[in-house]
Structure 1
């Protein structure tokens, strides 16, 4: 059991170090030697868990959805839909694995990488919640979850690219996510539901029950 726990910790340390290096440098410029140094592990330990730099990058990409805490269930499925995005934006500022995964997903280098997974998974999550909202009478009759779900995922991708290009970080993502929902939701959500939604910056932390000091 001790060896198994140690192996789990080692793999996580490598994953976090790789995410940090990928986030800072992108896939092409990232070096395994830098990941080894940051993770403080041997080359043998790295290759025990990952076959190659490409394999390691895919593990970071695949972690994107799993590292984000699930937004707590809400009576309003539209609020839960919003919370998924706001929690994501909030975690971008404090979770290096998520940030590194997003960088790899959006990075134009490393053409051998398969980046489709996170796009499909986020679209499926949004579609499930929007479909439940439609069935519960929270969406206007013309609102089509099949169109809205990928539209929001694509909007997040664009906002991530823009904020990183303009600011070199993503600390303003939740503010832009809030603006996205303020403009989008009035056109698809029943007015009586819309007035009850929390769309303001900071919703990600509030949904998780996290205070301003992170506790």
Structure 2
């Protein structure tokens, strides 16, 4: 594994455990087993490391396959809910994105990236005739990112994210009537992704 990747994953572990204020370059160096010079060559500062973890939070994800559209978007969000329970880079990136005001990072681009990713699925859903005529895909994609973010924060506080898939399912059941016709909603399946794969 390249030095930059080693540093990124070590930083994700430390940020995920103690947050930005509790993390230090020394802790990250010790975890990575590299030199101080390696850190500053690749990232220049703790802030640079934090930005990289936020921006690259999805790097280790293996997104579920499937035909683009509403079912695939639903599957994607439930997959993310399960990955937040165990994927170190994703967990740390999400934590930093939520808590970044403490560090003065102001890194909003990751929220735009997720909204664009969700929006692509919604545009495909529209092309398949799965959405209500007046559904605003851009607005819904941004709302979905916000709702998911809020749900995972509440889940982290309530259960260490153990109940996050259930919360995301509930979120969808509340949001879907404003997005899709009843017959389309009736065909959707809520997939739970676990350690042994996925079940419906």
Same fold (TM over 0.5): yes
Give the SS at the match of 1:66: coil
Determine whether 1:61 maps to 2:54. Answer: yes
| 4+ aligned runs moved over 3 Å, structure 1 | none
TM-score normalised by length of structure 2: 0.90
Could you say which residue in structure 2 is the equivalent of 1:166? Answer: 158
Determine whether 1:120 maps to 2:105. Answer: no
Could you say which residue in structure 2 is the equivalent of 1:91? Answer: 83
Q: CA deviation at 1:186?
A: 2.9
Q: CA deviation at 1:44?
A: 2.1
Could you tell me how far apart the structure 1 residues matched to 2:82 and 2:5 are? 22
Could you say which residue in structure 1 is the equivalent of 2:15? Answer: 22
Counterpart of 1:198 (choices 189, 192, 196) is 189
Counterpart of 1:180 (choices 153, 167, 171) is 171
Give the SS at the match of 1:22: helix
Q: CA deviation at 1:212?
A: 5.0
Could you say which residue in structure 2 is the equivalent of 1:211? Answer: 196
- Size of the alignment, in residue pairs? 197
Counterpart of 1:131 (choices 123, 126, 132) is 123
Structure 1 residues 30-55: Cα deviation after superposition (integer angstroms, max 9, x where no partner): 11111111112221222232211111
Name the Cα RMSD after superposition: 1.9
Q: Assess, with a 3 A threshold, how the Cα gap between structure 1 residues 212 and 129 changes in structure 2: closer, same or farther.
A: closer
Q: CA deviation at 1:17?
A: 1.3
Could you tell me how far apart the structure 2 residues matched to 1:95 and 1:106 are? 17
TM-score normalised by length of structure 1: 0.84
Structure 1 residues 104-154: Cα deviation after superposition (integer angstroms, max 9, x where no partner): 00003101x132121000100111111221122101222221221111100
Q: Assess, with a 3 A threshold, how the Cα gap between structure 1 residues 104 and 34 changes in structure 2: closer, same or farther.
A: same
Could you tell me how far apart the structure 1 residues matched to 2:10 and 2:93 are? 12
Give the SS at the match of 1:195: helix
Could you tell me how far apart the structure 2 residues matched to 1:153 and 1:100 are? 17
Gaps of 5+ in 1: 1-5
